[in-house]
Chains A and B, each alone.
Chain A
Amino acid sequence: MDQPIIRIQNLQKSFGTLKVIDGLNFDVMKGEKLALIGPSGSGKTTILRILMTLEDISGGRIEINGEPLYHMTKGGAELPADEAHLHKMRRHVGMVFQHFNLFPHKTVLQNITLAPVLTQGVGRAAAESRARELLDMVGLADKAAYMPSQLSGGQKQRVAIARALALQPQIMLFDEVTSALDPELVEEVLEVMQRLARETDMTMLLVTHEMGFAHDFADRVLFFDKGRIVEQGPPDQIFTAPQEDRTKSFLRKIIAAGQRV
């Protein structure tokens, strides 16, 4: 069949002496929507950050579209990737952050058009009209001229989603995108993502503590603990009939905390 869009093989990541990812293997197929769940410190966010090349890896191998992310071939030999290679590979991947990380000195529209104009050679007019379409899609068509500081958290996060989409990456990473939001603002962001998941064939990886959302959003759920996958499967199976004790006890705690799964 098709080759996976992401292939992770024996991935290792340590921060000093702390091993956060320990021999991780998994593939992601094109268009798949993955939810990564698990207790804090289980390495979920680190995986996204590694895929975005915000962290170095300590060992193992990652391929995107069959091309190694952290390695490159030069003169027949495989070497650690240099900045130019990472830069080239990054165009496949986009990311939405927990704390939005909008550019505070740029307007909403400029936040979205900056990268396409600078990195993809898109004309300013084309970039702006595309940005306005995206703003319309996330329900913020009237906020194009605003500064980020004038927006609510939920609005900021929707702009951040539009910013990432403007680059048309094949893979989108969502890192706890609702964790920093006031509860009443969570829904508007989830709604946008839900629609995105339905309407695009983009591959999406979602790290979340919103189990109900993970259930609705994902084709496959990966439960992580201590840098390894404990259990994975379709959401119905993971959330209603988990096999592993650690998954069960994690979900029990989540339910006890009042969340829907």
Chain B
Amino acid sequence: MEWDWEFAASIMPQLLAGFRITLIATALGAVVAAVLGLVFAILRRSRNRILSRGTGFVVEFIRGTPLLVQLYFIFYVLPDLGIRLPALTAGVIGMGLHYATYASEVYRGGIEAVSRGQWEAAKATNLNARQTWIHIILPQAVPPMIPAMANYLLAMFKETPLLSAITVLELMNQARSVANSSYRYVEPMTLVGVMFLIVSVISVVGLRWLERRYGGVGK
């Protein structure tokens, strides 16, 4: 087994194309997770029992089943029901939905950490529900959540190779296609590892900074 620099350089464009998809999938998945997670968290707090229990059940269900199974379901089973999604869209929805359940727990913790007195002061100053969330609760609840959220973002990023199972041409899938056609695994797999490692190391440094910056907010 020998490392071939020339071969490594020749496959770089294909790997970078895959890496681009990996980053796009992560970014879009994160947006879906952040938005849906907040929706889950707010619905679970609803005074309507059916709504809060129903949401709780859905969240537990999603969290209790593997992401890979969910991806297969969205990409291969939904078409039987007439819902046909492009691979990347299916992947983004699957990952976003899966991580939304984790994000909703983070939101829930952050929201519950805001004292009851803040809700009461909002009421006493006659803010409506929307104004209370936007001006009082979320600005206090979100900063302490940031480190935990960033952690899940990194975890999701490292799970993107699962998308290769539903034909998304992300980094891992590209590397595998290189390997399958050239019978060389060393260079593509090493490069995949290095690319993930670079982003992870940068992220961990960023995470430490976020923890220092926001970890203490909200006491």
Complex contacts, B128 vs chain A, CB 8 Å: 87, 119
Complex contacts, A93 vs chain B, CB 8 Å: 124
**Are A97 and B121 also in contact (CB < 8 A) when A105-B139, A105-B140, A118-B135 are?**
yes
B120 at the interface (CB under 8 A from A): yes
**Are A87 and B139 also in contact (CB < 8 A) when A101-B121, A118-B131 are?**
no
Q: How far is the CA of A231 from the CA of B136 in the complex (A)?
A: 41
Complex contacts, A102 vs chain B, CB 8 Å: 121
Residue of A nearest to B121 (CB): A101
**Residues A101 and B117 in contact, CB atoms below 8 Å apart:** yes
Complex contacts, B124 vs chain A, CB 8 Å: 52, 54, 90, 93-95, 97, 101, 164
Total number of residue pairs linking A and B with CB closer than 8 Å: 57
**Mask of A101-131 contacts with B, CB within 8 angstroms, 1/0:** 1111100000000110011000000000000
Interface residues on B, range: 10 to 19
Contact partner, A115, options B117, B118, B126, B129, Cβ 8 Å: B126
Interface residues on A, range: 20 to 34
Complex contacts, A119 vs chain B, CB 8 Å: 125-128, 131
Q: How far is the CA of A189 from the CA of B144 in the complex (A)?
A: 33
Complex contacts, B125 vs chain A, CB 8 Å: 94, 114-115, 119, 163-164, 167
Could you say which of B123, B124, B128 has the most chain A C-beta atoms within 10 Å of its C-beta?
Answer: B124
Q: How far is the CA of A94 from the CA of B136 in the complex (A)?
A: 18
A91 at the interface (CB under 8 A from B): yes
Q: How far is the CA of A102 from the CA of B118 in the complex (A)?
A: 7
**Residues A54 and B126 in contact, CB atoms below 8 Å apart:** no
Complex contacts, B129 vs chain A, CB 8 Å: 83
**Mask of B119-161 contacts with A, CB within 8 angstroms, 1/0:** 0110111111101000110011000000000000000000000
- Besides A90-B126, A164-B124, 8 more A-B contacts (Cβ < 8 Å) are A54-B120, A54-B123, A101-B118, A101-B124, A114-B135, A118-B135, A167-B125, A167-B126
Ordered by A's residue number, 24 sampled pairs between the chains whose C-beta atoms are within 8 Å are A54-B120, A54-B124, A83-B129, A87-B128, A90-B123, A90-B126, A94-B124, A94-B125, A97-B117, A99-B117, A101-B117, A101-B118, A101-B120, A101-B121, A102-B121, A103-B136, A105-B140, A114-B125, A115-B127, A118-B131, A119-B128, A164-B124, A164-B125, A167-B126
